[in-house]
Structure 1
Amino acid sequence: MSTLQSDVTELWDRKQAGEIDAQSAGSDAIDTLEAFLEALEAGEVRAAEKRDGEWEANEWVKQGILLNFGLRENQPFGYGGVDHYDVLPLRETEDLGARGTRNTPNGTAIRRGAYLGKDCIMMSPSFVNIGAYVGDGTLVDSCDTIGSCAQIGENVKIGANTLIGGVLEPVENAPVILEDGVSLGAGCRVTSGFVVGENSVVGENTLLTPRIPVYDLVEEEIIYGELPPERRAFIRYVESSVSDHDLFEGGAYKPAVVATDLETETLEATEREDALRE
């Protein structure tokens, strides 16, 4: 990968210096971008990795993704009988069946440069964007969106109608992370590089973003941008600093997340997903 990294970095520097663009990019540049996308789809490179206990972005990988937008021409493609315009086609999926991964018909879309591990289930309609990494045994349910560069661990359950936000720029920012064993209830939103610790269970319709405080009742502290491992979390509303404003009566409230000890009971959602795999 060192050669691929150096080739991508060189292209990035040339693009930033104005030496190359979509009209002037030659076959060598496109070959580098193709090799880069293939490495992403094989899981050989990732937009972020955990180092010394902290998630860090691989800047050159995010640069490579941006180069695929900046050095390619917009062109027509066909998908499911619908013509559309983009700089990249959707991902080829022949490799998924060989490792036991299912993407159901009528609306599952996987963009080029996305990785899905073995024994995944992707229900329709759902979408996985470029640079995303979906680990082994993970369920992506109906109406879910996995944003660009999001890193999803193994055996994760993502409930229906859930948004995992993308973080592509700035390149130094880590994307949204769901670590191994996480379970998200239906209708959740996880955005702006938030990290959900392993084996945590998040209640339905919970918003997780660095701007909303997490009241961790286990360690008795208020934290931002992460949910620690082994937590059960749910949304609550706390009094806002503008509660006494003259323009409204009854007080104002703002969202917060409450995190408690993870109970050891079997989750109904997990039971349902196990049935899908039997």
Structure 2
Amino acid sequence: MTALESDITEIWQQYSEGDIDADAGTETLDAFLDALEAGEVRAAERVDGEWQANEWVKQGVLLTFGLREISQWEYGGTYNDVLPLADTGAFAERGTRNTPDGTVVRRGAHVGSDVILMSPSFVNIGAHVGDGTLVDSCDTVGSCAQVGADVKLGANTLVGGVLEPVEEAPVVIEDGVTLGAGCRVTSGFVVGKNSVVGENTLLTPRIPVYDLVDEEIIYGHLPPERRAFIRYVESSLGEHDLFEGGAYKPAVVATALGEETVEAVEREDTLREQS
């Protein structure tokens, strides 16, 4: 256990017991937010092939909200929050771009090198955005969400977070994933490495994934190297007096990546390098 982890754990215990001053742990929490932004600590990590939450990191995020007073800050006008925005002054030297008029990176979020953040977009505290990733217009990367390297988040995509409960792993988008415009990934769902997900697909543990590669139905994750898209399958509800015909529910169908899909992603990479 590192000194920072030990300090956060101790403050969390005091906070849980209600035996703590409002201004306690300020220096520790500042150091914690710095470590998050530097990518030195993360809300979740892969352990023995499975993504697991770092509970103490999520506790630190919750303490940041619980122990700080709301203040007024300036960002194109006055806003009220317990946190300022992240300092993006070092972005340029590591090749990262954040376009004007609405690109918001909250304090405590990590944004890697060679990242492109298109406006408007929002990256919340505890989120990790890996090197070479594109966060397109109208995208949200939720609190503690883990987005890998060389990921492409299509416009109007929501990557949920999962801050509570602290023991649950957040949403994870692994390296090399492409999410089409309008995708939604929520409730701790894990999108496997190098997968390509079609537009407007909802990925959540409550919706089954019909994996045609391994011929099984799975929940909560999409295996690596898949092409996935939303489909509707017959529901057990059947016919009802309120509507004609059978009822249908959403499902995700996953197939192997075809050459056409890979070529399309490669063309997009080339266009992005030239932009």
TM superposition score normalised by structure 1: 0.96
1:247-258 → structure 2 map (5 Å cutoff): 247-258=242-253
CA distance in 1, matches of 2:33, 2:270: 32
Matched, 1:7 2:10: no
Kindly tell me the number of residue pairs found equivalent between the two proteins: 273
Name the structure 1 match of 2:175: 180
Which stretch of structure 1 is more off in the superposition, 90-99 or 63-72? 90-99
One-letter amino acid of the counterpart of residue 246, structure 1? D
Cα deviations by residue, 1:220-261 (Å, 9 ceiling, x for unpaired): 100000000000000000011112222221211100000001
Cα deviations by residue, 1:157-181 (Å, 9 ceiling, x for unpaired): 1100000011000000000000011
Which of these residues, 31, 34, 40, is aligned with residue 35 of structure 1? 31
Using the aligned pairs only, state the percent identity.
70
- Aligned CA-pair RMSD: 1.2
Q: CA deviation at 1:97?
A: 1.2
- Structure 1 residue ranges without an equivalent (≥5): none
**Distance of aligned partners of 1:111 and 1:196 in 2 relative to their CA distance in 1, 3 Å threshold:** same
One-letter amino acid of the counterpart of residue 41, structure 1? E
Which of these residues, 118, 121, 139, is aligned with residue 123 of structure 1? 118
Name the structure 2 match of 1:90: 85
Name the structure 2 match of 1:25: 23
One-letter amino acid of the counterpart of residue 152, structure 1? V
CA distance in 1, matches of 2:86, 2:41: 16
One-letter amino acid of the counterpart of residue 51, structure 1? V
Helix, strand or coil at the partner of 1:34: helix
CA distance in 1, matches of 2:145, 2:108: 12
TM superposition score normalised by structure 2: 0.97
Matched, 1:156 2:154: no
CA distance in 2, matches of 1:18, 1:62: 18
- Structure 2 residue ranges without an equivalent (≥5): none
Name the structure 2 match of 1:48: 44
**Distance of aligned partners of 1:154 and 1:231 in 2 relative to their CA distance in 1, 3 Å threshold:** same
CA distance in 2, matches of 1:276, 1:207: 25
Name the structure 1 match of 2:203: 208
Helix, strand or coil at the partner of 1:94: coil
